[in-house]
Structure 1
Amino acid sequence: MNLLLGALNPIALRLGALEIHWYGVIIATGVVLAVGLALQEAKRRNVSEDDILNLILWALPFALIGARLYYVVFEWSYYQANPGEIIQIWHGGIAIYGGLIAAAIVFIIYCRRHALSPWLVLDIAAPTVMIAQAIGRWGNFMNQEAYGAPTTLHFLQSLHLPDWVIQQMLIDGAYRQPTFLYESAWNVLGFIIIMSIRHRTGWFKQGEILFSYLIWYSFGRFFIEGMRTDSLFIGPLRVSQIVSLVLFFGAIGLWIWRRKHSQLPDYLTGNQAKEQK
């Protein structure tokens, strides 16, 4: 097999002194797709486009800030010595869990102030976030980050990967496990499953599409994170594995508790408050 020479250029376009990175282009592509899908589903659930767009306009900057702060906090020993790099997110170094936590807080606050069910809105958003994450991992690929332990060329070829993917996994003189690809594929599969079943009558109460996403994503992320060599740590523990366990068991526990102790509207009933006006 004839492999391509050299890693892919992380710069998509240069306009004078301005450099547009593939990382940003790919992340933006995932966001645009997620917004489009969320708007379509919002109409079906009787949530206005204005509310979804307003939510996104508020949530996106806070999600980016949250994702970066999460990463910087756990790598503070480096950024304390290099404070000028804190804002350089185009070089990578954002943590998905930080972004999800920040966006969820914005969603809840906005929904409370605009008489929307936060469970319903988070249900609408959850699977679209999953496909955006799947796309976004290819931004990590372009930056040669979010990879795993050294492996062999033979192993990568056995996965039937294109030459350009294999060559991009040649990092610091060794071929690496493409953990970015494992997570991307896991998210695509979860997206397909959730999108295929979320409109089944009587299957989901409001909030349970969100729980399905959290359970699926955190389960896969726990094992994939264990394969990575660039994890954030608290002592000997990987931060993302701890968060994955909390989300996995928390979502299952809350799903069971709400079913036993609350009268919950079906997901398919949508925004009943708007219908009653």
Structure 2
Amino acid sequence: MYPNLYYAFHDLFGVDIPLLKLLQTFGFFVAVAFLAAAYVLTSELKRREQLGWLTGVPEKVITGKPVNMTEVLIHGVLGFVLGYKILGLASDWAEASQDLQSYILSSRGNLLGGIALGGFFAYLKYRSAKKQELPKPKEETITIMPHQRVPDFTVMAAVAGLLGAKIFHNLENWGDFVQDPIGSLLSFSGLTFYGGLILASIVIIRYAAKKGINIWHLIDSAAPALMLAYGVGRMGCHFSGDGDWGIYNSGYITDATGKVLSVDPSKFQEVLKANEQFFMRQYGSLEHIPHAAFAKPGGLSFLPDWFFAYGYPHNVINEGIQMAGCTGKYCSVLPIAVYPTALYEIIACLLLFVVLWSLRKKITVPGVIFGVYLIMNGLERFFIEKIRVNTKYDIFGFRPTQAEIISSLMIIGGAALVWYCRKIYKAPKPVA
């Protein structure tokens, strides 16, 4: 596993770049997911604009306004923070390089560097604004097309998505949140995709409605982008080992070096007792450890064992037992291999993205593509939940997880949306 990009570059290319420790693998893939989704969304919006299904909205803008000192101050503060930390790293590199994350989040830094870079940033912003200033500001009317709003959508999705993902995760793990509310809110782990999707969707749809963008064509355009973003984001979960994995595959164990070994399922209880302290800390008992044995079928012998069971060595949350001969911050491996559910979702969602991308020109009734997306995403997540570890709710004798409840609602809602849209809308014709 690669907790941060330092480990990835060191393992893949044999280079040693300590500064890469600042870049978390999970965060890197989340950023890539947003960029990929923005590109796909922009492309699809442009296509629908060319067909005349989406049109621009005139807006009044004022050019040549006087220098905004608030913006100058914000740039100055940003420069101060960067200078404070960068110069601090340069002057205290020997100690700071041992744990760059802790250093960045601490109050340590270089005051002189902060003041110098802060002043420089403020000057650049002031100079740029002064050049654009006119003796008398002018009011102009310009037409803004929907695809030009994508940067706004991306920022809103990032902020609202992170907030929603945190809220839903803490609701699902209320006991952990109550014990350490500050740590739960500020930790890098603990994000629920559906929470982010729901809140981000609400915020973006409200914004689009205010800007006069056709909501049906917007959500249809977003469907392939959302599926792609989910698949790429899951890469961050898998390659960092953020704990978003499945139940134990009791047909495999991992040795102290992290290698996966196929064993008889009867070995499961023996390994549980050998690592009793770890499992008791996680589950409080050895009686109800979630597991299911599944050995690699003969017809799939070409696939590696870690496709069916993985120990996530060097995982970013330090879950598991100490690895032999390992020193440093990330030296844990799971004693019993788990189903790499994030890997399965990567494959499934990338394939579903291809399906949605190929359907977007064939299905022209507004809203249907998004309905299909809801059904596909709901089905994918519903079935993967069967081998994932999640908090279960007791509802009239049923014990579903939060994701199973939401994914079931997505399937039902998607089917209803397809039926409704096909009933009331006809396929749009391109504007001549």
The one of 114, 117, 134 equivalent to 2:211 is 114
Partner of 1:160: helix, strand, or coil? coil
- Measured in 2, the distance between the counterparts of 1:213 and 1:108 equals 17
* Residue of structure 1 in register with 2:303 after alignment: 160
Alpha-carbon distance between aligned partners in 1 of 2:150 and 2:185, rounded to the nearest angstrom? 28
- The reply to whether residue 31 of structure 1 matches residue 34 of structure 2 is yes
Alignment match of 1:219 (pick from 367, 379, 389): 379
Distance in 2 of aligned mates of 1:27 and 1:44: 26
User: Scaled by the length of structure 2, what TM-score is found?
Assistant: 0.55
Mapped contact 1:107–1:122 kept (Cα < 8 A): no
Give the equivalent residue in structure 1 for 2:196. 99
Q: Which piece of structure 1 moves more, 216-225 or 55-64?
A: 55-64
CA apart distance, 1:160: 1.3
Partner Cα distance (2:245, 2:210) in 1:
41
RMSD: 2.5
Structure with higher helix content: 1
Aligned pair in 2 of structure 1 residues 74, 159: CA closer, same or farther (>3 Å)?
farther
Displacement after TM superposition at 1:163 (Å): 6.5
Bigger-Rg structure (1/2): 2
Equivalent residue for 1:255, pick from 414, 418, 421 = 418
Tell me if the contact between 1:67 and 1:95 (Cα under 8 Å) persists in the aligned partners: yes
Task: Trace 1:1-277 onto structure 2 (pairs within 5 A).
Answer: 8-13=1-6, 14-15=18-19, 19-46=22-49, 48=145, 49-90=147-188, 92-141=189-238, 142-151=240-249, 152=252, 153-154=261-262, 155=295, 158=301, 160-161=303-304, 168-169=311-312, 171-200=333-362, 203-229=363-389, 231-235=390-394, 236-260=399-423, 262-266=424-428, 269=430
Aligned to 1:56, the other structure's residue is in SS state helix
Residues 382, 407 of structure 2: 8 Å contact kept: yes
**Cα deviation digits, residues 151-179 of structure 1 (max 9, x gap):** 22444694714879965546530111111
- The answer on whether the counterparts of 2:223 and 2:356 sit within 8 Å (CA) in structure 1 is no
TM-score, length of structure 1 as denominator length: 0.84
Shift of the 51–69 alpha-carbon distance from structure 1 to 2, 3 Å rule, reads same
CA–CA distance in structure 2, aligned partners of residues 149 and 163 of structure 1: 14
* 1:72 partner letter: N
Q: Is the 8 A contact 2:341 2:388 kept in 1?
A: yes
Is there any run of 5+ residues in structure 1 with no aligned partner, and where? 1-7
Shift of 1:60: 1.8
Instruction: Using the aligned pairs only, state the percent identity.
Output: 25
Instruction: Output one character per residue of 1:63-122: Cα deviation in whole Å (capped at 9) or x when no partner.
Output: 1101111101121211111122123342x2111110110111012101210111112111
SS at match of 1:234: coil
Contact (CA 8 Å) 1:169, 1:177: kept in 2 or not?
no
Report if the CA contact (8 A) 1:107-1:118 is conserved. no
Are the counterparts in 2 of residues 134 and 183 from structure 1 also a CA contact under 8 Å? yes
Q: Which runs of 5+ in 2 are unaligned?
A: 7-17, 55-144, 253-260, 263-294, 314-332
Q: CA separation in 2, counterparts of 1:164 and 1:189?
A: 17
Q: How far off is 1:62 after superposition?
A: 0.6
Tell me the number of residue pairs that the alignment of Structure 1 and Structure 2 aligns: 257
Rounded Cα–Cα distance in structure 2 between residues aligned with 1:159 and 1:101: 39
Of 67-76 and 153-162, the range deviating more from structure 2 = 153-162
Q: Matched residues in 1 for 2:242 and 2:206: separation?
A: 36
CA distance in 2, matches of 1:211, 1:83: 36
1:24 CA displacement: 0.3
